[in-house]
Amino acid sequence: MSCCKVPVLIEAQVEMGSVNELEHKSLFRQEEDAAQTKEASLMEQGSLSTSFPQHTPKSPKNSVLNSIKIVIFCNKLNLLLPFGPLAILVHYMIDSKGWVFLLTLVGITPLAERLGYATEQLACYTGPTVGGLLNATFGNVTELIISIFALKNGMIRVVQLTLLGSILSNMLLVLGCAFFCGGLVFYQKDQVFDKGTATVNSGLLLMAVMGILFPAVLHYTHSEVHAGSSELALSRFSSCIMLIAYAAYLFFQLKSQSNSYSPLDEETNQNEETSAEDEDPEISKWEAIIWLSILTAWVSLLSGYLVDAIEGASVSWNIPISFISTILLPIVGNAAEHAGAIMFAMKDKLDLSLGVAIGSSIQISMFAVPFCVVIGWMMGQQMDLNFQLFETAMLFITVIVVAFFLQEGTSNYFKGLMLILCYLIVAASFFVHEDPPQDGI
């Protein structure tokens, strides 16, 4: 009998233990349910957010001298800043167009980079979506200023080639360098980015190509209803449509798809928390706004001398104006995007790299180009979207190549190298290309 009682006692103890475990689990579940209910009520009241806890940047309080030290003296590229005033002296003392163009080009380079820096500092106070828009806007302010000065001087062809070159530079050189450098740092894996966003961006670029392609086709097929005026009318109408499409794209980004900029998993949440200290701004919001104003004014001043010296530099250096406008000017103007895209890619933030490179291309093609057409319309300049057959074909092939590289949603150093090599082919093509004579150049 005693032998039979032992298993019974053991079974009873096991059952008691299981009952205790069930009681403990039920208590824990009650506590978890209560915690979830409390968290839900706090969310309804606005105390908590369903997204990751946002890091509020600490606004530093710098003196004037300290602000100047941070913005001007803490960057080695600013050693090139004296070339700007030197270019103005050469313009009035020697009047050598080649030297004025070279010195101005070198002097604008650090200004373009500092514009990007001041924009990044301001973006720390605005959030990721508005910050990305600010980066794209002020990253392209150099090209816009140069284009407006050239348009004012009637150099329509320079405007077209400068904007076209900026699109090609962003899509091939900037994105290629970002893929290449990021791929070298993370050579053991393929870097991943949002395939859906890349598809939407590719569609917008193809729409821009459509707007630029049709006036050129209309011109070269000689199928205009009114010779000489139908092409210009189509360009102005298409420009207004492209501006509307770009405004809808901004609304889509800022309102409808604002959640797509929030991290979706805990790992990103932890990365944001650990890197929050590194992303604290170095200057205050008003300091960033003041510096943006100063740098933009200085770029505007130098751009006037740069545009005046383009034709003289082309003659003295025996280099086609198309090469200067399409290759040299955009490389300087895209200095901020170039540095930012590479930095983000080396930190495995490839979506930000794409936002800088492709986002900048979209803004130029869907905003800057049609904006210059409308501004030229107001100035009485016949600025149109007919970029000529050679340039339009170059843009079309570039957009197709980049769209194919983005369709997988992954990148590596080989893809980056291919994009860089494609840009070298484009640069060599413009070096041997003789632009047809135009009335506006």
Between the CA of residue 148 and those of 115, 240, 307, what are the distances in Å?
A: 18, 18, 10
Mean pLDDT within 184-207: 89
Q: Which residue has the higher pLDDT, 104 or 3?
A: 104
What is the pTM assigned to this prediction? 0.76
Name the residue with tokens 């380079």. Answer: 109
Between the CA of residue 83 and those of 43, 101, 102, 108, 355, what are the distances in Å?
A: 56, 11, 9, 8, 31
Mean pLDDT within 75-85: 87
Please give the single-letter amino acid code of residue 178.
A
Q: Is 201 left (phi over 0), alpha (psi -120 to 50) or beta?
A: alpha
Evaluate if residue 13 carries a pLDDT over 50: no
What's the mean per-residue pLDDT of the chain?
A: 79
State pLDDT tens for residues 245-304: 998 988 887 776 554 444 334 334 444 444 444 467 788 888 888 988 898 889 888 888
Between the CA of residue 181 and those of 53, 146, 408, 431, what are the distances in Å?
A: 31, 30, 19, 27
